[in-house]
A and B are shown apart, each in its own frame.
Chain A
Amino acid sequence: MTAVGTSPDATAPSTRSRPEPPGERGLRVHGLAVDLAGRAVLRDVALRVEPGQVVGLVGPNGAGKTTLMRAVLGVVPRRSGEVVVDGRPVRPGRSGIGHVPQRVDVAWDFPVSVADMVASGLTGTRWTGWRPGAAGWRAVADALDRTHVRDLADRPVAELSGGQRQRVLLARALVLQSSVLLLDEPLTGLDVPAQDLITSLVRELADDGLAVLMSTHDLVGAVDQCDRFVLVNGTVRADGPTREVAADVQAWVETFRTRPDSALVRALQAV
């Protein structure tokens, strides 16, 4: 199966044609297409993340997971399609969506404190030169509380461990008080205890009513960490409850262009 130009029935995610209910909550992406440097990277992507859900965005390297997130945020132009948060279409570059980038994308040697970095999440939400007042700093303190790093507030970010950095980035995403959270490989490069901490934190946030879309390469771990899988490779290849999708050999073979008896597929069958 090719990455692009797939007929819609080949993907058939269950949410594709769902009508928008009044008072819809969470994230809905519909008919999304993205070109990068003239190349079709994503075609006809549709997915839905409901409040309280952690959805695992899964696909091989170069499948367009990060591009999908960037398109949702409006950082890369969409060729077509719509992104809707809480029933309202998102304006490019003004998504207001909480986003945790890959940790390597952040300049950790910048001489700012944890609280300053979290507060920087509010920059750009108002006019140029705006800085948080009392309400803004309360939001910062709340975000630090929710990710259990309040005690690190005055610490320079350069001195944090990998797991602490990830929690600070989560706090920076939460300070926007969005109902949707995008996490780009939040577990990559963390040791197992730190991964467990982030995973349980993400679950806490979902239980608080956030809609979480999380890309990950730990596919076996993600079966338990997530409620649903969205398999992506150019377009959505499968979408459903994690255990159902994990058992769908054909979906993994198509998405990862692997053999039915590959180690990945066998590991997923064993979960």
Chain B
Amino acid sequence: MGFLEFLADLVNPDLAFLPRALAVAVASALVCGVVGCHVVLRGTAFIGDAVAHAVFPGLAVAFVLSANLVLGGAVAGVLTAVLIAVMAQNRRLREDSVIGVLFVAAFALGVVIIAQAPGYAGSLQQFLFGSIAGVDDGDLVAVGVVTVVVLAVCAWLHPELVSVGLDREGARAQGVRVFWVDLALYVLIALSVVVSVQTIGNVLVLALLVTPAATARLLTSRLVVMMVLAPVIGAVGAFVGLYVSWTWDLPTGAVVVLTLTGVFMVTWLVAPRHGMLAAWTGRRPAAARGVA
């Protein structure tokens, strides 16, 4: 099947789930791209992973109760975000230990809950690896609202997020409420994950959060440019991934992730200033060579 047939399928009224899946995948790429920039710059990919897993029990409860999945996931994700932020205040426990404890527990809880639903093996696989068939109109509205809210909060809190990312103690000394900024970021991560979980899947969503942002970082030294590039790269990856998976009947989430990984690898090799080829040919900036 060619690309034109894929486009024709996108507007075929009998295949209405396909454009819905595309819309959700692109929305996921937008929010994960923007939020992912902060995740990558702070080096908190582990928190992204934790929140991604912690969303699972909420999805499971919503699934068992036949409630809205986005809402269920959002409640669980936000609760975990608050728990991580509060427990990480205890200086005897390192943040990564807290996360390690919480996210596996949350995931286990999700598995126990979803096992209560009849025929759960199929739904489990759908949650873990994503599916393009499951998006209904209610999800579409919920994803739209969450996307707008996440992007608006990111724009609003941008100065605080940058200031804390640059220098936590300095920000605190200036009167930035670091705890609340951290909490806001964790909640933004949770919401980005929730938006993405249906099409990309719970296990694979971390790639959507990290890979486009990491790719964008290789291409620019400007935060604003990075925050435009990452969602664009993610959206293109989501579109290409959906096309490939539809055409060759492959699992969507996995193909999107592999597409993004391919883009990352190519960028890593050929990025004009920060790529490996630039390093080998000596065109790398001085600071990157460690002589600054």
A176 to B175, CA, bound (A): 12
One of B156, B160, B226 near A124 (C-beta < 8 A): B160
Asked whether any CB of chain B lies closer than 8 Å to the CB of A113, the reply is yes
Given A106-B166, A161-B292, CB of A123 within 8 Å of CB of B172: no
Q: Which chain A residues border B172 with CB–CB below 8 Å?
A: 75, 93
Considering the complex, give the chain A residue whose CB is closest to the CB of B167: A106
**What 0/1 pattern do residues 101 to 140 of A give for CB contact below 8 A with B?**
1000111011111001100111111001111000000000
One of B156, B174, B177, B221 near A156 (C-beta < 8 A): B221
> B167, A123: Cβ atoms under 8 Å?
no
Tell me the B144-185 residues at the A interface (CB within 8 Å). Answer: 156-160, 162-163, 165-177
One of B159, B173, B285 near A130 (C-beta < 8 A): B159
One of A112, A125, A128, A160 near B174 (C-beta < 8 A): A125
Considering the complex, give the chain A residue whose CB is closest to the CB of B157: A129
Asked whether any CB of chain B lies closer than 8 Å to the CB of A73, the reply is yes
A158 to B175, CA, bound (A): 25
> B166, A95: Cβ atoms under 8 Å?
no
The A contact surface, by secondary structure, is loop
Tell me the A178-198 residues at the B interface (CB within 8 Å). Answer: none
A176 to B292, CA, bound (A): 28
Q: Which chain A residues border B163 with CB–CB below 8 Å?
A: 120, 123-124
A contacts with B, residue count (CB < 8 A): 39
Q: Which chain A residues border B169 with CB–CB below 8 Å?
A: 70, 75, 101, 105
Asked whether any CB of chain B lies closer than 8 Å to the CB of A148, the reply is no
Asked whether any CB of chain A lies closer than 8 Å to the CB of B93, the reply is no
> A111, B41: Cβ atoms under 8 Å?
yes
Asked whether any CB of chain B lies closer than 8 Å to the CB of A99, the reply is yes
One of B91, B162, B217 near A37 (C-beta < 8 A): B91
One of B160, B217, B222, B292 near A123 (C-beta < 8 A): B160
One of B42, B166, B221 near A117 (C-beta < 8 A): B166
A128 to B171, CA, bound (A): 12
Given A37-B91, A75-B172, CB of A107 within 8 Å of CB of B162: no
Tell me the smallest distance from the CB of B99 to a CB of chain A, in Å. 20
> B223, A107: Cβ atoms under 8 Å?
no
> A123, B220: Cβ atoms under 8 Å?
no
Q: Which chain A residues border B286 with CB–CB below 8 Å?
A: 159
Tell me the smallest distance from the CB of B279 to a CB of chain A, in Å. 15
One of B41, B91, B176 near A110 (C-beta < 8 A): B41
Q: Which chain A residues border B42 with CB–CB below 8 Å?
A: 107
> B221, A158: Cβ atoms under 8 Å?
yes
Given A123-B159, A124-B160, CB of A107 within 8 Å of CB of B165: yes
Asked whether any CB of chain A lies closer than 8 Å to the CB of B8, the reply is no
Q: Which chain B residues border A87 with CB–CB below 8 Å?
A: none
Q: Which chain A residues border B226 with CB–CB below 8 Å?
A: 111
One of B91, B221, B285 near A111 (C-beta < 8 A): B221
Q: Which chain A residues border B160 with CB–CB below 8 Å?
A: 123-124, 128-129
Asked whether any CB of chain A lies closer than 8 Å to the CB of B1, the reply is no
Asked whether any CB of chain B lies closer than 8 Å to the CB of A31, the reply is no
One of B166, B176, B177 near A112 (C-beta < 8 A): B166
Asked whether any CB of chain A lies closer than 8 Å to the CB of B287, the reply is yes
Q: Which chain B residues border A172 with CB–CB below 8 Å?
A: 170
Considering the complex, give the chain A residue whose CB is closest to the CB of B37: A111
Asked whether any CB of chain B lies closer than 8 Å to the CB of A94, the reply is yes
B91, B167, B172 interface centre (most CB from chain A within 10 Å)? B167
A172 to B173, CA, bound (A): 13
Q: Which chain A residues border B175 with CB–CB below 8 Å?
A: 93-94, 124-125
Q: Which chain B residues border A129 with CB–CB below 8 Å?
A: 156-160
Q: Which chain B residues border A95 with CB–CB below 8 Å?
A: 173
A172 to B171, CA, bound (A): 11
> B167, A101: Cβ atoms under 8 Å?
yes
Tell me the smallest distance from the CB of B230 to a CB of chain A, in Å. 11
> A113, B292: Cβ atoms under 8 Å?
no
Of the A-B pairs whose beta carbons lie under 8 Å apart in the complex, a sample of 27, sorted by A's number, is: A73-B173, A75-B169, A99-B173, A101-B169, A105-B170, A106-B166, A107-B42, A107-B167, A111-B223, A112-B162, A112-B222, A120-B167, A121-B170, A121-B174, A123-B160, A124-B160, A124-B171, A124-B175, A124-B176, A128-B177, A129-B158, A129-B159, A130-B159, A158-B221, A158-B287, A158-B288, A159-B292
Report the 7 A-B pairs with minimum CB-CB distance, sorted nearest first.
Answer: A124-B176, A156-B221, A124-B174, A123-B163, A124-B175, A73-B173, A159-B287
6 extra A-B contacts, CB within 8 A, seeds A112-B222, A125-B175, A159-B292: A93-B173, A101-B170, A105-B167, A107-B165, A123-B171, A128-B177
